[in-house]
Each structure stands twice: as C-alpha cells, then as structure tokens.
Amino acid sequence: MFHGSIPALVTPFKNGAVDEAAFAALVERQIAGGSAGLVPVGTTGETSTLSTEEHKRVVSLCVEVAAGRVPVIAGAGSNSTDEAIDLVAHAKAAGADAALVVCPYYNNPNQDGLYAHFRAINDAVALPVVLYNVPSRTVVDLKPETVARLAELPNIVGIKDATGDMDRVTYHSALIGDLEQFVQLSGDDPSALGFLAMGGAGCISVTANVAPELCAAMHMAFHDGDLESARAIERRLIALHRAMFCSPSPGPAKYALSRLGLCAPEVRLPLTGPDDAARAMIDEAMALAGINT
C-alpha cells in the first residue's frame, strides 16, 4: 500500500498567505525526485495555524497536482473528533488516497478515549486511515495494544510512529499479525533505516522536503537488499536529519528550501524562523549531503 520515502510537505507562505504556486512546484519536485507518496497539511505543513478553508484547499491542491501519480495521504487530525471526521470526509471528497489522523492533542484522553476517537472516524468515513502517534506533541501515547485493537477496524490501515521507539515495529507485528494489511511508517528520520530493518515499510519524512532524491534512494537501496548503499546514503543525510530540528520545525526545512530558491522561509506565529546559529548548522548539513545552494 504505502511505502518508501513520503515527504510531510511544508506549506509555503508568501506575505502571510498560502503560496499555491510554490506548493504546486514542491509537489512536482517531490514526484520527480522519486518520492513514493505525499502528505499535505501534517505537522510539518503547519496545519495548526491554517484555517479550515486553507487546510482543505491545500489538500485539494495536492491531489490535483499529483494527479494520481503517487498516493496522497492527507493530514486530517484534530483534538475534536467531529472536526477530524469533517477533515477526513473532505480528504475523501477531494480524492485523497488516505487520511493521516493524529492522536487528539491537549485533551489528554486515555486509551479507551483514543480507541473511541479513531473508531468514530472509521465508522463515519469510508477512507483508509493512517494513525499518527507523536507523543512529544500530543502528550498522549497510542499504546501498541490499542493500535492492535484499531487494526481490526476495516478503514484503519497503518500507523505513522514518531516515537523513535523501534521495538514497537516488532511489538505491533506480534500483536497484529499479518502486516500486509497494516502498514508501519516511521515518523522519525534519524531512525528510519533502523525502522525499515525492524520491518517498517517507509518513512513520512521532514528531510525529504529538502533532499527528496537522497531519501528516495535510501529506501530503494534498502528494499533492493543493498544495505551498504542505504547506510552510505544515511551517512550523507544524518546531519541534515538533525538540522531539520535544530529549531522548531518546519522552520529549518523552509529555510533550506529558501536557500534552494523554492519558497520563502516564512512560518506563522507562534513559530519563528531559525536564528543565525541554526541557519549555519542547516547550511553545513546541506553541504555535507551534497545539496547545492
């Protein structure tokens, strides 16, 4: 189903508004660079500062530009179950292939609440859903036992795991069984190669915004059984993986893309862009990866 390098796309801004032309160009660049899918309006897409209308427009634009060449997994999460259902319903109407639904943030639900949230989405909209577990942002952790319960539902098809805890890949596998019916995607670039080795299928990546070809090549090398090449590519990328979070994301990714002339470095408050030290770190990481500016 979903596999390989899948960028969590930035949402470029120009003078405070969504820069649709720049976004469309970024989508084309990702497809040309070998990315195996696209995630608009996830965390990296600054969904928390987009209006509902902007959110839906970016999803529709991504689907329109991709035109079926690669799958689109639309960000559609919220801390409100009703709002999440509305966003998933829009993703389906827009023609997205799946929805990426984050655990409800701020509310701090227990595991029963998390199960009920995702079950309500499963029951309301007939669209594949990829669970998104990122406790560092949501406070709550979707436990493997709850993931296994959710995997029994017909529209729950996988998980983006951004815990960095690679043994969860094996634990999920042990609890769920047939992983062909449940796709595990990493949400943590520095551990993505290890995640693949543990049985994961791919990575929803921040770094791929900046280095789509390299990220795609690493996944392809691994899936071709060429571990030596995959490791060599990761050595080129590791500084960039780290630099993407040297200040609040997606500021570093947008700065790097601005250095490539692809979009403005604008982020929306309460985020601010990288400071001088962070920009120097990003510049150095891009140079180490062989990305020319």
> Any idea which residues carry the catalytic annotation?
132, 160
Which residues touch 261 (CB under 8 Å, ≥6 apart)?
none
